[in-house]
Amino acid sequence: VQIMGVSAVTIRQDLNHLEAEGFLKRVHGGAIFKSTDDISNRLGINYEKKLRIALKAAAFVHEGDTILIESGSANAILARELSKKDGINIVTSNVFIARELKKSKHTKVILLGGLYQHESESLVGKLTKLGMENINFSKSFIGVDGFTIESGFTSTDMMRAEIALSIVKKSKEVFIITDSSKFGRIELTNLFDVNDINYVITDDGIPEKDKLFLEKNGAKVIIA
Protein backbone atom coordinates (compact mmCIF):
# COMPACT_ATOMS: atom_id res chain seq x y z
CA VAL A 1 0.00 0.00 0.00
CA GLN A 2 2.81 2.42 0.91
CA ILE A 3 4.76 1.61 -2.26
CA MET A 4 1.74 2.07 -4.54
CA GLY A 5 0.47 5.16 -2.77
CA VAL A 6 -3.14 3.96 -2.86
CA SER A 7 -5.54 2.42 -0.37
CA ALA A 8 -5.91 -1.31 0.28
CA VAL A 9 -9.48 -1.08 -1.02
CA THR A 10 -8.26 0.30 -4.35
CA ILE A 11 -5.66 -2.46 -4.69
CA ARG A 12 -8.27 -5.14 -3.98
CA GLN A 13 -10.60 -3.61 -6.56
CA ASP A 14 -7.82 -3.54 -9.16
CA LEU A 15 -6.87 -7.16 -8.43
CA ASN A 16 -10.51 -8.22 -8.70
CA HIS A 17 -10.76 -6.47 -12.06
CA LEU A 18 -7.57 -8.12 -13.38
CA GLU A 19 -8.80 -11.52 -12.19
CA ALA A 20 -12.12 -10.98 -13.97
CA GLU A 21 -10.23 -10.13 -17.16
CA GLY A 22 -8.21 -13.35 -16.86
CA PHE A 23 -4.78 -11.83 -16.26
CA LEU A 24 -4.20 -13.26 -12.78
CA LYS A 25 -5.59 -15.48 -10.04
CA ARG A 26 -6.32 -14.23 -6.53
CA VAL A 27 -4.67 -16.21 -3.73
CA HIS A 28 -4.49 -15.70 0.02
CA GLY A 29 -2.50 -12.52 0.66
CA GLY A 30 -2.18 -11.45 -2.97
CA ALA A 31 -2.32 -12.72 -6.54
CA ILE A 32 -0.33 -14.76 -9.05
CA PHE A 33 0.16 -14.03 -12.74
CA LYS A 34 -1.35 -16.53 -15.16
CA SER A 35 0.72 -18.06 -17.94
CA THR A 36 0.01 -16.30 -21.23
CA ASP A 37 0.48 -19.53 -23.22
CA ASP A 38 -2.15 -21.49 -21.30
CA ILE A 39 -5.36 -21.41 -23.37
CA SER A 40 -7.61 -22.11 -20.38
CA ASN A 41 -6.20 -19.04 -18.65
CA ARG A 42 -6.64 -16.81 -21.70
CA LEU A 43 -10.21 -17.83 -22.47
CA GLY A 44 -11.55 -15.27 -20.00
CA ILE A 45 -9.63 -12.35 -21.51
CA ASN A 46 -11.95 -10.40 -23.84
CA TYR A 47 -14.27 -13.43 -23.79
CA GLU A 48 -17.34 -11.70 -25.25
CA LYS A 49 -15.31 -10.39 -28.19
CA LYS A 50 -13.76 -13.80 -28.80
CA LEU A 51 -17.16 -15.47 -28.69
CA ARG A 52 -18.55 -13.10 -31.33
CA ILE A 53 -15.47 -13.72 -33.47
CA ALA A 54 -15.83 -17.49 -33.10
CA LEU A 55 -19.52 -17.40 -34.00
CA LYS A 56 -18.76 -15.37 -37.12
CA ALA A 57 -16.00 -17.82 -38.09
CA ALA A 58 -18.23 -20.86 -37.49
CA ALA A 59 -20.73 -19.52 -40.03
CA PHE A 60 -18.14 -20.10 -42.78
CA VAL A 61 -17.90 -23.83 -42.04
CA HIS A 62 -20.28 -26.13 -43.92
CA GLU A 63 -21.07 -29.82 -44.17
CA GLY A 64 -18.37 -31.67 -46.06
CA ASP A 65 -15.59 -29.22 -45.17
CA THR A 66 -12.21 -30.42 -43.97
CA ILE A 67 -10.85 -27.68 -41.76
CA LEU A 68 -7.76 -27.06 -39.67
CA ILE A 69 -8.03 -25.33 -36.30
CA GLU A 70 -4.65 -24.17 -35.04
CA SER A 71 -4.03 -22.83 -31.53
CA GLY A 72 -5.33 -19.90 -29.47
CA SER A 73 -8.21 -19.06 -27.18
CA ALA A 74 -10.49 -17.74 -29.94
CA ASN A 75 -9.90 -20.99 -31.83
CA ALA A 76 -10.82 -22.96 -28.70
CA ILE A 77 -14.18 -21.18 -28.59
CA LEU A 78 -14.58 -21.83 -32.32
CA ALA A 79 -14.01 -25.54 -31.68
CA ARG A 80 -16.80 -25.53 -29.08
CA GLU A 81 -19.18 -24.01 -31.59
CA LEU A 82 -18.19 -26.40 -34.38
CA SER A 83 -18.70 -29.38 -32.08
CA LYS A 84 -22.44 -28.65 -32.48
CA LYS A 85 -22.26 -29.14 -36.26
CA ASP A 86 -22.48 -32.37 -38.25
CA GLY A 87 -20.63 -33.71 -41.26
CA ILE A 88 -17.34 -31.84 -41.01
CA ASN A 89 -13.78 -33.09 -40.65
CA ILE A 90 -11.70 -31.16 -38.13
CA VAL A 91 -7.92 -31.41 -37.97
CA THR A 92 -6.06 -29.71 -35.13
CA SER A 93 -2.50 -29.36 -33.87
CA ASN A 94 -3.64 -28.52 -30.34
CA VAL A 95 -4.59 -30.97 -27.58
CA PHE A 96 -6.78 -28.47 -25.70
CA ILE A 97 -8.82 -27.85 -28.85
CA ALA A 98 -9.14 -31.60 -29.48
CA ARG A 99 -10.65 -31.97 -26.00
CA GLU A 100 -13.17 -29.23 -26.80
CA LEU A 101 -14.38 -31.44 -29.66
CA LYS A 102 -14.77 -34.67 -27.69
CA LYS A 103 -18.55 -34.30 -27.26
CA SER A 104 -19.13 -34.06 -30.99
CA LYS A 105 -20.60 -37.37 -32.17
CA HIS A 106 -21.00 -36.58 -35.86
CA THR A 107 -17.72 -34.82 -36.57
CA LYS A 108 -14.45 -36.54 -37.47
CA VAL A 109 -11.56 -35.21 -35.39
CA ILE A 110 -7.93 -35.72 -36.39
CA LEU A 111 -5.25 -34.77 -33.85
CA LEU A 112 -1.86 -34.30 -35.46
CA GLY A 113 1.20 -35.75 -33.73
CA GLY A 114 4.38 -33.95 -32.82
CA LEU A 115 6.38 -32.43 -29.99
CA TYR A 116 4.00 -31.48 -27.16
CA GLN A 117 4.30 -27.96 -25.73
CA HIS A 118 3.06 -28.20 -22.15
CA GLU A 119 1.67 -24.69 -21.60
CA SER A 120 0.04 -24.00 -24.97
CA GLU A 121 -0.78 -27.71 -25.55
CA SER A 122 0.29 -27.25 -29.17
CA LEU A 123 1.96 -29.98 -31.21
CA VAL A 124 4.91 -28.85 -33.29
CA GLY A 125 7.90 -30.12 -35.23
CA LYS A 126 8.60 -32.50 -38.12
CA LEU A 127 5.96 -35.07 -37.12
CA THR A 128 3.28 -32.37 -37.15
CA LYS A 129 4.25 -31.26 -40.63
CA LEU A 130 4.44 -34.87 -41.80
CA GLY A 131 0.89 -35.47 -40.58
CA MET A 132 -0.39 -32.65 -42.79
CA GLU A 133 1.31 -33.79 -45.98
CA ASN A 134 -1.61 -35.86 -47.29
CA ILE A 135 -4.45 -33.64 -46.02
CA ASN A 136 -5.94 -30.74 -47.95
CA PHE A 137 -7.83 -28.16 -45.93
CA SER A 138 -10.81 -26.34 -47.40
CA LYS A 139 -10.43 -23.77 -44.63
CA SER A 140 -7.89 -23.14 -41.87
CA PHE A 141 -8.31 -20.99 -38.76
CA ILE A 142 -5.11 -19.60 -37.29
CA GLY A 143 -4.44 -17.50 -34.19
CA VAL A 144 -1.77 -14.80 -34.04
CA ASP A 145 0.03 -12.93 -31.27
CA GLY A 146 0.64 -9.62 -33.01
CA PHE A 147 0.22 -7.50 -36.13
CA THR A 148 1.73 -4.28 -37.42
CA ILE A 149 1.85 -2.91 -40.95
CA GLU A 150 5.66 -2.97 -40.81
CA SER A 151 6.07 -6.56 -39.55
CA GLY A 152 2.81 -8.22 -40.59
CA PHE A 153 1.48 -11.08 -38.47
CA THR A 154 3.82 -12.30 -35.72
CA SER A 155 4.01 -15.10 -33.16
CA THR A 156 5.68 -15.56 -29.77
CA ASP A 157 6.78 -19.09 -30.70
CA MET A 158 9.08 -19.99 -33.60
CA MET A 159 8.02 -23.64 -33.78
CA ARG A 160 4.33 -22.80 -33.87
CA ALA A 161 5.07 -20.20 -36.54
CA GLU A 162 6.69 -22.92 -38.66
CA ILE A 163 3.56 -25.09 -38.37
CA ALA A 164 1.31 -22.14 -39.21
CA LEU A 165 3.26 -21.57 -42.43
CA SER A 166 2.79 -25.22 -43.40
CA ILE A 167 -0.94 -24.93 -42.69
CA VAL A 168 -1.27 -21.94 -45.00
CA LYS A 169 0.40 -23.84 -47.85
CA LYS A 170 -2.14 -26.69 -47.53
CA SER A 171 -5.27 -24.51 -47.25
CA LYS A 172 -7.71 -23.33 -49.90
CA GLU A 173 -8.87 -20.48 -47.65
CA VAL A 174 -7.02 -19.05 -44.65
CA PHE A 175 -8.77 -17.27 -41.78
CA ILE A 176 -7.03 -15.27 -39.07
CA ILE A 177 -9.24 -15.04 -35.99
CA THR A 178 -8.08 -12.68 -33.27
CA ASP A 179 -9.39 -9.96 -31.02
CA SER A 180 -8.19 -6.42 -31.71
CA SER A 181 -5.75 -6.36 -28.76
CA LYS A 182 -3.18 -8.07 -31.01
CA PHE A 183 -3.03 -5.13 -33.44
CA GLY A 184 -0.13 -2.78 -32.80
CA ARG A 185 1.97 -5.54 -31.21
CA ILE A 186 5.18 -7.06 -32.59
CA GLU A 187 6.18 -10.48 -31.27
CA LEU A 188 9.23 -12.72 -31.63
CA THR A 189 8.92 -14.14 -35.12
CA ASN A 190 7.16 -13.37 -38.38
CA LEU A 191 4.43 -15.61 -39.71
CA PHE A 192 3.15 -15.93 -43.28
CA ASP A 193 2.79 -13.19 -45.88
CA VAL A 194 -0.30 -10.99 -45.58
CA ASN A 195 -1.11 -11.81 -49.21
CA ASP A 196 -1.62 -15.46 -48.19
CA ILE A 197 -4.61 -14.58 -45.99
CA ASN A 198 -8.19 -14.60 -47.26
CA TYR A 199 -10.10 -13.39 -44.18
CA VAL A 200 -9.35 -11.64 -40.90
CA ILE A 201 -12.15 -11.92 -38.35
CA THR A 202 -11.80 -9.53 -35.42
CA ASP A 203 -13.74 -6.96 -33.37
CA ASP A 204 -14.40 -3.28 -33.99
CA GLY A 205 -11.28 -2.24 -32.07
CA ILE A 206 -9.04 -2.88 -35.08
CA PRO A 207 -7.24 0.35 -36.11
CA GLU A 208 -8.60 1.73 -39.36
CA LYS A 209 -5.12 1.93 -40.91
CA ASP A 210 -4.55 -1.77 -40.26
CA LYS A 211 -7.95 -2.66 -41.70
CA LEU A 212 -7.26 -0.67 -44.86
CA PHE A 213 -3.80 -2.21 -45.23
CA LEU A 214 -5.12 -5.76 -44.92
CA GLU A 215 -7.90 -5.18 -47.43
CA LYS A 216 -5.50 -3.50 -49.86
CA ASN A 217 -3.40 -6.67 -49.71
CA GLY A 218 -6.29 -9.02 -50.44
CA ALA A 219 -7.58 -10.01 -46.99
CA LYS A 220 -11.25 -9.36 -46.32
CA VAL A 221 -11.69 -7.94 -42.81
CA ILE A 222 -14.87 -9.07 -41.05
CA ILE A 223 -15.98 -7.28 -37.89
CA ALA A 224 -17.76 -9.47 -35.35
Average predicted confidence (pLDDT) for the chain: 87
Mean pLDDT of the region 151-155: 95
Largest CA distance in the chain: 62
Q: How confident is the model at residue 25 (pLDDT cuts 50, 70, 90)?
A: low
> Are 66 and 134 found together in one domain?
yes
pLDDT at 42: 61
pLDDT at 45: 77
Structural domains in the chain (count):
2
DSSP letter, residue 122: B
The CA distance from 160 to 202, in Å, is 21
Predicted TM-score of the model (pTM):
0.82
**In contact, 36 and 130? CB cutoff 8 Å:** no
> Are 17 and 75 found together in one domain?
no
**Reduced to 3 states, what is the DSSP secondary structure of residue 28?**
coil
Mean pLDDT of the region 159-178: 96
Mean pLDDT of the region 20-39: 55
> Are 201 and 121 found together in one domain?
yes
Print the domain residue range for 16: 1-34
Q: What is the CATH number of the domain that holds 156?
A: 3.40.50.1360
Q: Is the dihedral of CA 70, 73, 78, 84 positive or negative?
A: positive
Per-residue pLDDT tens over the stretch 91-139: 999 999 999 898 888 889 999 999 999 888 999 999 999 999 999 999 9
> Are 4 and 110 found together in one domain?
no
Q: Decide if pLDDT at 1 tops 50.
A: no
Per-residue pLDDT tens over the stretch 187-221: 999 999 999 999 999 999 999 999 999 999 999 99
